[in-house]
């Protein structure tokens, strides 16, 4: 497998040797796609930047997405954590529950902060895993406990300003991270070892939907329309 920034939508492509990753023997190509980005980011979320402790209560934004699904699985199978999943449709909430989420909140029909505070008895979550940003950069601090951890890894909901006062007021630990910063670090070697162990002991989810390469445009519309859950792949 190759971790490519651009030029991957093709039958043949070139990649730098240092960006090649060996597909583990036990993994199919469609599992490899799940692994290459999603499982490694889930690992970074949970272990490297999240430093999640057993029993921590986690709030996962876009929890039905490729990364959210795997973070939920890791949290339930490795850390006995309570997972509060946020997603935008009832079908996605069902997907989150199947992945192990303890609570699933439809962000279109409920105010997620109110719901999270109700679930946590007013305390807030220990960790928020947020790949949505946008308006949630304003609302998230209210749903996180004082001295909790706030992890940001994407901005599917758009760019917006962070309010330092909200972060300071609760003494939150903020990590805004990218996989590209660490992809050649020791952490990635650890993530690979994690995958090997995961494949020995757990089923690694495969892609939930594939599109032929010629239908790339349709695949993008599907993702942009927020219809996707799990991981989507293009197959040449
Ligand atoms: N920094 C990095 O290293 C890095 C690397 C890879 C990916 N990422 C980011 O991580 C995020 C999650 O990746 P993924 O593979 O899990 O993505 P995904 O499966 O495509 O999930 C993205 C989800 O974001 C939610 N979303 C919220 N607001 C949205 C909006 N305004 N428009 C579209 N979607 C919106 C949607 O879920 P709901 O409909 O349920 O809200 C959507 O399904 C993405 O934002 C991606 O850019 C970051």
Per-residue pLDDT of the chain (236 residues; tens, 9 = 90+): 887 778 888 889 999 888 888 888 888 888 888 877 788 889 999 999 999 999 999 999 999 999 999 999 999 988 899 999 999 999 999 999 999 999 999 999 999 999 999 999 999 999 999 999 999 999 999 999 999 999 999 999 999 999 999 999 999 999 999 888 887 778 877 887 888 888 888 877 788 899 999 999 999 999 999 998 889 999 98
Q: Where are the domains of the chain?
A: 17-235
| Closest protein CA for atom 5 of ligand 1 | 179
Per-residue H/E/C for 149-218: EEEECCCCCCCCCCCHHHHHHCCCEEEECCHHHHCCCHHHHHHHHHHHHHHHHCCCCCCCEEEEHHHHHH
Q: Which CATH architecture has domain 17-235?
A: Alpha-Beta Complex (3.90)
Residue 69 CA: which ligand 1 atom is closest? 16
The minimum-distance atom of ligand 1 relative to the CA of 67 is 16
Q: Is 68 in the pocket of ligand 1 (CB under 6 A)?
A: yes
Q: What is the b/e burial string over 164-193, where b = at least 16 CB atoms within 10 angstroms of the residue's CB?
A: eebbeebebeebebebeebbeeebbeebbe
């Amino acid at each position: 497998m190759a971790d490519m920034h651009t030029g991957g939508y093709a039958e043949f492509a070139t990649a730098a040797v240092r960006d090649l990753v060996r597909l583990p023997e036990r993994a199919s190509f469609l599992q490899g796609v799940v692994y290459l980005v999603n499982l490694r980011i889930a690992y970074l979320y949970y272990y490297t930047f999240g430093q999640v402790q057993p029993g921590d209560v986690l709030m996962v934004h876009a929890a039905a997405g490729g990364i959210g699904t795997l973070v939920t699985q890791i949290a339930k199978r490795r850390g006995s954590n309570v997972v509060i999943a946020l997603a935008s449709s009832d079908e996605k909430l069902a997907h989150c529950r199947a992945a192990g989420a303890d609570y699933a909140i439809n962000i279109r029909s409920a105010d997620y902060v109110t719901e999270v505070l109700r679930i946590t008895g007013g305390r807030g979550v220990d960790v928020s895993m947020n790949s949505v940003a946008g308006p949630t950069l304003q609302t998230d601090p209210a749903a996180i406990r004082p001295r909790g951890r706030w992890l940001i890894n994407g901005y599917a909901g758009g760019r917006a300003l962070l309010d330092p006062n909200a972060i300071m007021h609760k003494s939150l630990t903020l990590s805004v991270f990218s996989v590209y910063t660490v992809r050649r670090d020791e952490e990635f070697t650890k993530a690979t070892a994690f995958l090997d162990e995961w494949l020995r002991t757990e089923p690694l989810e495969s892609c939930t939907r594939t599109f032929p390469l010629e239908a790339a445009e349709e695949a993008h519309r599907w993702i942009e329309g927020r219809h996707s859950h799990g991981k989507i792949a293009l197959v040449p």
